[in-house]
């Protein structure tokens, strides 16, 4: 999880949109600056070379959403941190680009572009992230449990097969984030919680609702994420890397539509993440070829079948983020707390 700041306190804040960036900080000091000025519920270590962090926050009272871009790092929350701060929220994070692997209180965890990961701040976690871009929000436990009372959420990963409504909602929030007003946040937060509950309710008939994916499948999914753009990625290579038979691999991926279908689905989500990134406006053909498609027409057909929209139409809906001035984060937190 890329935790952008502390869960909002139950106070009415006047502050709406604000930015945090390490751009003006010397490279060797950026990760420490990010840890000191941003992280409260989580901590981080082992930044990858060239680490940077940029956060846009939209906040009103207890409601907040954050678009965060950071370099690779390892994030963690320990029992000692849990005992010290007593935070009682879930972090719900929509992954736009990059990937995460780790351990959520003994449960292996992996998720990539186009998926939603959930972290319970009352439980320990360890998470290794590549360079990522994510949309995050903090949801109070009481409000979440009101719609999903008997489901273990810590470490849960939701993809398009399990939570298409929620993912489309969060995709829209990401797309229109630059134009949202703080006054819209209470409604967006309620919709996020209700859609989370609705998606899990639709899953209630499935036997695997309260169970976790097998460790082998989690390893396989993580391997796919880390090698997604490799042209040679196929079932034979995955089974060899994991030391399992192809028949075992096929059985594990059967609920996900099969190994090959899963690889192409993940590549399409990666392509959608690239199309939604206004700071890296690459040509659609370039994105298509990088994601392994033989032609732009092939990519466009596959994309429209998966998302019910053409790549060019999705890009045309993407508003420009623009360049907002940096706001010193210490000043932001002081203002938000009324000091």
Per-residue pLDDT of 148-172, as tens digits, reads: 766 788 888 887 677 778 888 888 8
Per-residue pLDDT of 172-206, as tens digits, reads: 888 888 888 888 888 898 899 888 888 877 765 54
pTM above 0.85, yes or no: no
Q: Answer whether residue 220 shows pLDDT above 90.
A: no
DSSP H or E run through 7: none
Q: How confident is the model at residue 145 (pLDDT cuts 50, 70, 90)?
A: confident
Res 299: pLDDT:
92
Res 14: pLDDT:
43
- For residue 136, which phi and psi values (nearest 5 degrees)? -125, 150
Res 280: pLDDT:
61
CA gap 50, 122 in Å, rounded:
32
Q: Cβ distance 179 to 213 under 8 Å?
A: no
Mean pLDDT is highest, among 23-27, 266-270, 279-283, for 23-27
Mean pLDDT of 101-109: 87
Query: In which residue are the tokens 């945090």 written?
Result: 20
Q: Answer whether residue 300 shows pLDDT above 70.
A: yes
Instruction: Please tell me the least confidently modeled range out of 91-105, 149-163, 178-192, 294-308.
Output: 149-163
- DSSP class of 103: E
Q: Cβ distance 229 to 290 under 8 Å?
A: yes
The arrangement of strands across the sheet holding 157-158 comes to 17-21, 53-60, 63-70, 132-140, 89-97, 116-120, 157-158
DSSP H or E run through 73: strand 73-77
DSSP 111-167: E-TT-EEEEETTS-EEEEE-SEEEEEEEEEHHHHHHHSTT---TT-EE-HHHHHHHH
Res 32: pLDDT:
96
Mean pLDDT of 73-82: 92
Res 279: pLDDT:
58
Give the residue, 265 or 130, on which the prediction is more confident: 130
Res 44: pLDDT:
96
Instruction: Please tell me the least confidently modeled range out of 30-39, 171-180, 283-292.
Output: 171-180
Res 277: pLDDT:
66
């Amino acid at each position: 999880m890329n935790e952008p700041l502390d869960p909002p306190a139950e106070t009415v804040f006047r502050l709406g949109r604000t930015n945090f960036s390490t751009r003006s900080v010397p490279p060797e000091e950026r990760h420490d600056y990010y840890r000191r000025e941003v992280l409260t519920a989580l901590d981080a270590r082992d930044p990858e070379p060239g680490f940077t962090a940029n956060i846009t926050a939209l906040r009103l009272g207890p409601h907040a959403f954050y678009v965060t871009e950071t370099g690779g790092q390892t994030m963690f929350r320990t029992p000692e941190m849990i005992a010290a701060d007593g935070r009682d929220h879930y972090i719900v994070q929509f992954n736009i680009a990059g990937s995460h692997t780790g351990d959520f209180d003994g449960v292996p965890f992996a998720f990539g572009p186009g998926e939603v990961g959930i972290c319970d701040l009352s439980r320990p976690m360890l998470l290794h992230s590549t360079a990522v871009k994510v949309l995050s929000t903090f949801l109070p436990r009481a409000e979440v449990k009101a719609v999903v009372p008997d489901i273990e959420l810590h470490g849960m990963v939701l993809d398009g097969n399990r939570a298409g409504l929620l993912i489309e909602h969060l995709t829209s929030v990401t797309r229109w984030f630059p134009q949202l007003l703080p006054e819209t946040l209470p409604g967006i937060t309620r919709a996020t919680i209700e859609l989370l509950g609705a998606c899990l309710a639709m899953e209630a008939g499935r036997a695997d609702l309260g169970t976790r994916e097998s460790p082998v499948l989690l390893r396989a999914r993580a391997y796919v994420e880390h090698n997604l753009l490799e042209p040679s990625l196929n079932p034979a290579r995955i089974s060899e890397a994991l030391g399992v038979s192809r028949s075992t691999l096929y059985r594990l991926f059967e609920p996900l539509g099969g190994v090959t279908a899963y690889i192409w689905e993940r590549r399409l989500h990666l392509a959608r993440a690239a199309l939604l990134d206004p700071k890296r406006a690459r040509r659609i053909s370039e994105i298509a070829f990088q994601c392994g498609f033989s032609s732009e027409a092939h990519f466009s057909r596959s994309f429209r079948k998966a998302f019910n929209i053409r790549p060019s139409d999705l890009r045309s809906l993407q508003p420009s983020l623009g360049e907002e001035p940096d706001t010193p984060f210490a000043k932001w937190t002081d203002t938000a707390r009324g000091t």
